[in-house]
Structure 1
Amino acid sequence: KIFNRLHIDTEEVLNAAGTKWNFLKFKPGLVGGHCISVDPYYLTHKAQEVGYRPEVILAGRRINDGMGEYVATQLVKKLSSKKIHIDEAKVLILGFTFKGDCPDVRNTKIIDIVKELQDFNMSVDVYDDWANPEEVKHEYGIDLITELEEGKYDGVVLAVDHSELKEMGEKKLRSFGKENHVLYDVKHVLKPSEADIRL
């Protein structure tokens, strides 16, 4: 969020920092799944039982838990800046699982993006060949689409870095959008110049 406000590309900063031999490259994103998004709460609960408030861990979880809303808000602002009417805008979200090339939808944070955009009265389609459609419907109430239509969407959000989606490239990803649309690359799959927004 800081780099966004400073108009600095996060990946450029990480690549520069990565020239240091012992730098660990952790990328911003939507932290979901059955481990990392849940396990810190076991530790914080135990810590609080013994009278310690683990502020850093709780702050990290608070930030991560708000990323879906942040992504949706960034998209709304960009759509507005391109004079795209927010109410009833059509958005395509590519990917629903909690990480790339994995069928697991447990605790996926993509649902937070979907709900937030729906709160703006947007029509949201979600495509994910890796996810089980019945499980997604049962757990989240979402009907995954199975066909991708060209020229239909005001916003296209590359939310999960499945190999199939990464291989599409900018031209194919943009083909799903209307003439005036926003392409949001949440996972830094595209070059900075190829996406309208990157996390």
Structure 2
Amino acid sequence: MKFNTDFFAGYSPERINPGDKEYTVEKIKKVTSGSTPHVARIVDDLYNSILVNGTYRASSIRIAEASKIIENTQRDVNIALMNELAKIFNAMGIDTQEIIDAASSKWNFIKFKPGLVGGHCISVDPYYLIEKAKVYGVLPRIMMDARRLNDGMGYYIGGQVLRLMNKRGILVKNAAILILGITFKENCPDIRNTKVIDVYLALHEYTANIMFLDPWADAKTVEQIYKIKIHSRIDPSWYGAFDVIISAVAHEEFKRIDIQSLLKENGIVYDVKGNLDRKVVSARL
């Protein structure tokens, strides 16, 4: 069979934001394409029949796929910049979130935040473009450095927590730690390529006494993939039990938890996403 004679191809790259209740599938403007102009029109008409905000018809399948790649690569690079800034400001002893809030008062400041970059798109797609660039003799240094920096943030956060424990005089060996969240993003059950695991691994080297709380993630799937047991609700034995609590994922449910009631007297709260009340937080990214 001959391509574009006996069979044809239509294509629209995935464009979805998991957990987003505002930009749902039917409300997202989709990029469409086809292997011929006729097929492109068919695909475009199909999506326009169900989408509220219509489509953008790309001139080729290559253009459509490249647009998807740079959407995620742009976010990855911008988040990497904020992660690098967070490292600088943490070393200087000033609060990154406060700096971002102040900078956001400028009308054209783009408010990205530092954090863990996981999931099946942003942390993966840049690698496709990086490898393709090498084939064409281009070394994409910014994208490569952004990926390297973002991939290392879980271990950096683990190191920050250990440093804070030492400063507080908390014995690291066999310390009781609670991690809030294991999914790759807030209010979403997706655990694919979650970088919270890296935080866990950085700490597990010193203590096996680590608990996970996540009302969104499926416990069986987490145990199958990561060999970790998680809880969907607070166990009564947890009150006053933890040396450290790490808010790793900004699930809405975590805002309603009495964090202090779960801590030991000299306990630490480390806030990765900046979603907790500042009054209960010992340090944040």
Give the TM-score normalised by structure 1. 0.95
Task: Verify: 1:157 aligned to 2:246, yes or no.
Answer: yes
Between 1:10-19 and 1:40-49, the stretch displaced more is: 10-19
Supply the distance in 2 between the matched residues of 1:173 and 1:192 (Cα, whole angstroms): 12
Aligned residues: 196
Task: Verify: 1:125 aligned to 2:125, yes or no.
Answer: no
- In structure 2, give the amino acid aligned to 1:54: P
Supply the distance in 2 between the matched residues of 1:62 and 1:119 (Cα, whole angstroms): 22
- In structure 2, give the amino acid aligned to 1:62: R
Q: Give 3-state SS (helix, strand or coil) of 1:80's partner.
A: helix
Supply the distance in 1 between the matched residues of 2:108 and 2:191 (Cα, whole angstroms): 33
Supply the distance in 1 between the matched residues of 2:198 and 2:157 (Cα, whole angstroms): 9
Supply the distance in 1 between the matched residues of 2:278 and 2:97 (Cα, whole angstroms): 9
Q: Which has the larger radius of gyration?
A: 2
Query: Structure 1 stretches (4+) deviating beyond 6 angstroms?
Result: none
Of 94, 112, 127 in structure 2, the residue corresponding to residue 26 of structure 1 is: 112
Which residue does the alignment assign to 2:256? 167
Q: Is the 8 A contact 2:259 2:280 kept in 1?
A: no
Q: Is the 8 A contact 1:192 1:198 kept in 2?
A: no
Q: Which ranges in structure 1 are unaligned for 5 or more consecutive residues?
A: none
Supply the distance in 1 between the matched residues of 2:147 and 2:160 (Cα, whole angstroms): 20
Q: CA deviation at 1:191?
A: 4.3
Which residue does the alignment assign to 2:275? 189
The structure showing larger relative contact order (alpha-carbon pairs under 8 Å, at least 6 residues apart) is 1
- In structure 2, give the amino acid aligned to 1:135: T
Give the TM-score normalised by structure 2. 0.67
Q: CA deviation at 1:122?
A: 4.1
- In structure 2, give the amino acid aligned to 1:166: K
Q: Which ranges in structure 2 are unaligned for 5 or more consecutive residues?
A: 1-86
Q: Give 3-state SS (helix, strand or coil) of 1:137's partner.
A: helix
Q: CA deviation at 1:177?
A: 1.2
